[in-house]
């Protein structure tokens, strides 16, 4: 009788454990052996499981909540108002702090030499390592070499004042356009629509980034119709700008970037390519020295790094990673489209806090809200 009772209890426990495992895996959360043993060892597995069932969100969100339950950590919450209040309003430019940031970044990332892939920083018939696939290299054939400018077109400290324009929904209604355009050099992100929002974001553009995924999705793999669409869009929005893209991040992106360069060349729009060593050096710098742990930093942080090298005074607009403004009003993810915030793939809050710290020291100017 006792043996049978023990067998029933064992089967019940084993079945319960298997049910929990299947539930976790079905939610897309790969927790691994450590987390499962933590579950049984912590003694509060049932409580954590009940919390998991009540959580709305992606598998990544659930996994974070569950790990907090195991370890006893408090819920990961960010007070938008606390961050907003920490931004100093009586800002003044601190040349010494800006120089300190510039020197630190230049030493680690060598932006003045590696921002763009050029004939000076790669070898003809040599190789370029892919930033996202470190065991694969692109050969610098004559075709690749001839696509590159002779040298980086921007010198250290070349510009007095620069605007770096993110695409945050907080720009909508900001009336920052004329302030953005007043800068000597303006950088924009990801081929954002500016023509219909000039009052808020301005129109002047000297450098604009283009994510290869946009060439695939927004411009239909650059087929015949997509190629014409890309050309027309660039002519309308960014006729006088250089376009910056990343063919040496992943192999699959290379041909799309090269094709975009071929499409825009007849329109006298220059397409330049990120240097993979510059991308990876930024990930290492921000990861080790600023504790921003990401597979790749955001495009905004990439362009901030460039701007602090080429510009004496850097002003940031549209850098607000939260779904609400300081007054609690819901914001779109981008100012130019009605898309809500999704689970981020970057640690935008950590990036933003670092920028706030630099703003408060006077090294850069962070513009939030109305101008």
- How deeply is 190 buried, as exposed, middle or buried, from its count of CB atoms within 10 A (0-12, 13-18, 19+)? middle
- How deeply is 346 buried, as exposed, middle or buried, from its count of CB atoms within 10 A (0-12, 13-18, 19+)? middle
Token duo for residue 345: 């793939």
* Residue 205 to residue 197: CA distance in whole angstroms: 14
* Residue 185 to residue 177: CA distance in whole angstroms: 14
Total Cβ atoms within 10 A of residue 262: 13
Q: Across 166-267, where does the E strand assignment appear? A: 185-188, 207-209, 242-245
* Residue 215 Cα distances to 25, 42, 255, angstroms: 34, 48, 11
* Residue 307 to residue 319: CA distance in whole angstroms: 14
Token duo for residue 369: 């809200």
Active site residues: 346
């Amino acid at each position: 009788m006792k043996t049978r009772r023990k067998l029933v209890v064992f089967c019940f426990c084993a079945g319960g454990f298997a049910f929990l495992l299947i539930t976790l895996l079905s939610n897309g959360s790969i927790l691994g052996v450590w987390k499962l043993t933590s579950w049984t060892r912590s003694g509060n597995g049932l409580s954590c499981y009940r919390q998991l069932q009540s959580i709305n969100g992606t598998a990544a969100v659930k996994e974070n909540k569950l790990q907090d339950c195991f370890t006893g950590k408090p819920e990961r919450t960010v007070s938008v108002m606390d961050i907003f209040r920490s931004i100093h309003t009586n800002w003044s430019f601190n040349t010494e702090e800006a120089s300190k940031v510039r020197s630190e970044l230049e030493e680690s990332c060598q932006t003045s030499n590696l921002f763009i892939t050029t004939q000076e920083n790669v070898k003809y018939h040599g190789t370029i390592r892919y930033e996202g696939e470190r065991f694969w290299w692109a050969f610098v054939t004559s075709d690749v070499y001839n696509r590159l400018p002779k040298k980086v077109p921007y010198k250290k400290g070349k510009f007095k004042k620069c605007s770096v324009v993110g695409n945050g929904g907080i720009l909508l209604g900001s009336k920052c356009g004329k302030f953005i355009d007043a800068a000597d050099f303006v950088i924009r992100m990801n081929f954002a629509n500016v023509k219909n929002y000039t009052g808020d974001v301005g129109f002047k553009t000297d450098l604009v980034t283009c994510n290869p995924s946009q060439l695939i999705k927004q411009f239909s793999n650059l087929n015949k119709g997509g190629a014409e669409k890309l050309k027309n869009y660039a002519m309308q929005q960014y006729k006088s700008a250089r376009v910056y893209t990343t063919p040496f991040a992943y192999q699959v992106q290379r041909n799309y970037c090269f094709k975009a360069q071929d499409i825009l060349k007849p329109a006298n729009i220059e397409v330049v390519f990120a240097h993979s060593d510059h991308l990876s050096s930024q990930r290492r710098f921000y990861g080790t020295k600023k504790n921003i742990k990401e597979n790749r930093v955001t495009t905004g942080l990439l362009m901030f790094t460039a701007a602090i090298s080429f510009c004496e005074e850097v002003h940031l607009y549209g850098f607000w990673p939260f779904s609400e403004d300081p007054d609690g009003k819901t914001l779109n993810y981008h100012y130019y489209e009605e898309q809500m915030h999704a689970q981020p793939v970057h640690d935008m809050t950590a990036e933003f806090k670092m920028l706030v710290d630099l703003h408060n020291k006077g090294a850069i100017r962070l513009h939030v809200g109305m101008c």
